[in-house]
């Protein structure tokens, strides 16, 4: 009798498991696609707002950043690869900002997957991050982006007609800042010395 009850319980549990629809996980962004909608709080720091060309309060989407190209780093303060890669990403930022032909065309932001504003601030201070970082404490952005591992880089091109398109989407850090920047310019079609 005990054995029959156990078998019936197992059958019932299997039936319940298979009666609920399985929700497919979102996949990472794909080159050529439109970036899924991401809403971020406008930074409170004036320097971050000025860097991104944003108004003083509210929320914004990536395509509202005043730049032709936006490079997004998905990081975590607990990720040893993100920690080790931080100096190279900082170098990438400085290479862009010190080039008068690029500084108004290419912008860099970081989104801390599962990180609270407090954790993001610790990461910023510990690794002296000069570009805007955003918290994603509830993993909502991370989920929309296919729950990618970190560090993950996404390159987005903002077009003149208001559309935007992913031109780069890949797991892994920046090995050499100059080579990474050249690749971003080549893949985005942005010319270093022109307005295009």
Record the pTM. 0.85
Please say whether the dihedral angle defined by the alpha carbons of residues 143, 146, 151 and 153, taken in this order, is positive or negative. Answer: negative
pLDDT in tens, 26-71: 789 999 999 998 999 999 999 999 999 999 889 999 989 999 999 9
CA-atom Rg of the chain in angstroms: 21
Q: What is the pLDDT of residue 11?
A: 37
Cα–chain center distance at 150:
10
CATH topology for 26-188?
Glutaredoxin (3.40.30)
Name the nearest CA neighbour of 90 among 110, 70, 74. Answer: 110
User: Who's near 92: CB < 8 A, 6+ residues apart?
Assistant: 71, 108, 174, 177, 180, 181
């Amino acid at each position: 009798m005990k054995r029959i009850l156990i078998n019936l319980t197992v059958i019932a549990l299997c039936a319940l498991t298979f009666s609920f629809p399985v929700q497919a996980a979102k996949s990472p962004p794909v080159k050529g696609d439109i970036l899924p909608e991401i809403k971020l709080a406008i930074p409170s720091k004036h320097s971050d707002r000025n860097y991104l060309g944003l108004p003083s309060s509210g929320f914004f989407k990536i395509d509202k950043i005043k730049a032709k190209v936006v490079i997004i780093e998905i990081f975590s303060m607990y990720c040893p690869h993100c920690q080790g890669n931080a100096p190279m990403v900082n170098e990438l930022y400085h290479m862009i900002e010190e080039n008068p032909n690029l500084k108004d065309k290419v912008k860099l932001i970081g989104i801390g997957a599962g990180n609270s504003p407090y954790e993001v601030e610790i990461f910023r201070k510990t690794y002296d991050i000069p570009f805007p970082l955003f918290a994603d404490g509830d993993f909502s952005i991370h989920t929309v982006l296919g729950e990618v591992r970190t560090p993950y880089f996404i390159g987005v091109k903002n077009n003149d007609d208001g559309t935007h398109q992913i031109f780069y989407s890949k797991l892994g850090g920046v090995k050499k800042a100059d080579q990474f920047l050249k690749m971003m310019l080549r893949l985005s079609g942005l010319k270093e010395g022109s307005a295009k």
